[in-house]
Amino acid sequence: MTRVAAYYRTSTVTNEDGHSRQRQEDAVNEYAHRMGYQIEVTRWDVHTGDSTVIDRPGFSELLGEVQLRDISIILIENASRFARDLLHQEAGVQALSKLNIQIIPVDAPETFTEENPSRVLIRQVLGAVSEFEKASLVSKLKAARDKKKAETGKCGGRKSFSELDPAMVAAAKRYSRRKSKSPRKQGQNFTLREIAEQLEADGYTDKILSAQSIKNLLAQKVPARVPDIRQNPIGTFFEQSRIGTGGGTEGLDRSANSSLTRRARQFAARSNAGPNNRRDDPGAMGRSRTSPSF
């Protein structure tokens, strides 16, 4: 039984958990079984198809493995899994040929093997078509992103603090208007450090944020009216828990690790604790022990 290797590739991390790899594995395994091949080593890349083949970590590792194991055949689902760019296809095939390694797309096994003028022309045309399809897809996606950015002001990227927790941003802005408790900062507003400590003390964060993070918080915009859990912690907690759950309480368990849950429990404990059993938090100086105030 001939020993072979298999190579799989998905273009983006978004496809990593999709059906792309399973589809490729099924096609390659079916071909190997039909041809009597034994797949001895496999590698997988999450990488765009217009990059140089040798620059992909998975393929580079696979190349070392096949040379070490004296394997001369690498199976792929189709030519685009090897490379979409025509120049990269041709360069990659020639480089592998010098190493006596054959790359076989299982949907068209002779794509990279026949060297007659007709096959070379077909191979180049197929590569050009694949490159055209990729360029068309990129153009369509760019148009969609531009449209969404024009409508919403943002498309993709990491979510900002104002998107993840607008109440925390609103709280940071309120704290920034308070007067500092530091003797050296008399008459001045809260420092960035004091804002970070107050956010942590009030349960908005589980650690003290850096000064740069606080600057980012203060620079972000929030809706004109953001519900503040400090005004009615339990009521707000139940209201937020019902969103998307049809008004039931089953949403409570799903929100167990959210900052909303953490703050609700913290303030509920403070409200129910007796004066002899509860500890003052760093932000409680000068406030009533029976109810938090702003």
Mean pLDDT of 256-275: 54
Q: Amino acid letter at 195?
A: I
CB contact at 8 A, 105 and 77 = yes
Around 66, how many Cα atoms within 13 Å sit in the side-chain half-sphere?
26
Pairing of strands 102-105, 37-46: unpaired
Query: For the chain, what percent of residues have pLDDT higher than 90?
Result: 18
Instruction: Give pLDDT, residue 267.
Output: 56
Mean pLDDT of 159-173: 81
Using the predicted structure, report yes or no on whether residue 280 has a pLDDT greater than 60: no
| CA distance linking residue 230 with residue 263, whole number of Å | 8
| CA distance linking residue 101 with residue 76, whole number of Å | 13
Q: How far apart are the first and last CA of the chain?
A: 78
Q: Which residue has the higher pLDDT, 169 or 293?
A: 169
157 sits in which H/E element:
none
Using the predicted structure, report yes or no on whether residue 286 has a pLDDT greater than 70: no
Alpha helix ranges (H) inside the chain: 20-35, 57-68, 79-82, 86-98, 117-152, 161-164, 166-176, 192-201, 211-219, 233-242, 251-254, 259-272
Longest CA–CA span in the chain (Å) reads: 91
Name the phi and psi angles at 83, rounded to 5.
Answer: -170, 140
Measured in residues, the chain has a length of 294
Instruction: Give pLDDT, residue 271.
Output: 54
Instruction: Give pLDDT, residue 8.
Output: 93
Using the predicted structure, report yes or no on whether residue 127 has a pLDDT greater than 90: no
Domains of the chain in start order, with CATH, are: 2-138 (3.40.50.1390), 161-284 (no CATH)
Using the predicted structure, report yes or no on whether residue 272 has a pLDDT greater than 80: no
Task: Work out the angle at residue 92's Cα, subtended by the Cα atoms of residues 88 and 93, and round it to the nearest 5 degrees.
Answer: 120
